[in-house]
Structure 1
């Protein structure tokens, strides 16, 4: 087992990082990730400001560590659902209207981290530290911390639970 990061993100709210499995760690490393990875988030922050989207320190810290990564998880024999590509790039995801609409409905700031399941959904982080997927079927709770979210999205060891159906938005 290894830890995601030694940064402050581990100590905040629901962001405390549980150890990730060796399986998930290996897949992340093969995609180019490392604990020490750090990329500029200036473009992301500029995009969020220009589009009127929420962003906050926890989301920016995740994007500093994962921004630009594309992770293509293989099918885990122990999976409970089929995974798909994860792209940590909120600009490429470009579902601004949907994020802002769900943010109003859920009455909490949401920051887009990128696309998941082959661009069929967005990965967003709430200011409370909860990871959600937003898609054409609604909102699903993925996990309450980064390590668990990565386990769900990469190893598919548990399924996200639906919080809202798309009809709830209207």
Structure 2
């Protein structure tokens, strides 16, 4: 069971999420495999619980503005150059799997085989969280996220 703050839980519920949510991941799997991404059990488990969610949350830097993330690798593979994901994987030393987009579609969301979540845009790569749930909490709460050197 994921531990979310009350604020994050409310934002997730507004997006259609529930504790017992379980979606079919076959389309996500097909899209990712067609692009050559490694599929990990932790990624599939995350997509079962959060796949397809478009979550709108308060922008952490601009008061009265909103930001969003979308957990949908099928959409993301169309928008993302897989070469960047390869570069990010080399940078952290482990293969990454595409899981969606964040910061109003400006950054690519990726997960490693241990569940760590990263976001990248061009040469910028940040570690969002240690797990999918931790990353969701970080995004929704505006927690500082370290840049990967």
Please classify the TM superposition score into its range, dividing by the shorter chain length: 0.7 to 0.9
Name stretches of at least 5 consecutive residues in structure 1 with no aligned partner. Answer: 5-18, 165-170
Match of 2:69 in 1: 86
Superposed displacement of residue 148, structure 1: 2.3
Match of 2:56 in 1: 72
CA distance in 1, matches of 2:123, 2:84: 12
2:142 matches 1:162: no
1:48-59 to structure 2, matched below 5 A, reads 48-59=32-43
2:115 matches 1:129: yes
CA distance in 2, matches of 1:93, 1:99: 12
2:52 matches 1:47: no
Q: Count residues with an aligned counterpart.
A: 143
CA distance in 2, matches of 1:25, 1:116: 18
After superposition, the C-alpha distances for 1:65-124 in whole angstroms (9 at most, x for unaligned) are 11111011134xxx4x35621101012112223212322333212111100001100111
* 1:112 partner SS: strand
Q: Aligned match of 1:152 in 138, 142, 149? A: 138
Name stretches of at least 5 consecutive residues in structure 2 with no aligned partner. Answer: none
Superposed displacement of residue 25, structure 1: 0.3
Match of 1:34 in 2: 18
CA distance in 1, matches of 2:23, 2:44: 10
After superposition, the C-alpha distances for 1:13-71 in whole angstroms (9 at most, x for unaligned) are xxxxxx21011001000100011111111111111111111210000111111111101
Moved more, 138-147 or 40-49: 138-147
Q: Structure 2-normalised TM-score?
A: 0.87
Kept in 2: contact 1:53–1:100 (CA 8 A): no
Moved more, 117-126 or 128-137: 128-137
Q: Structure 1-normalised TM-score?
A: 0.77
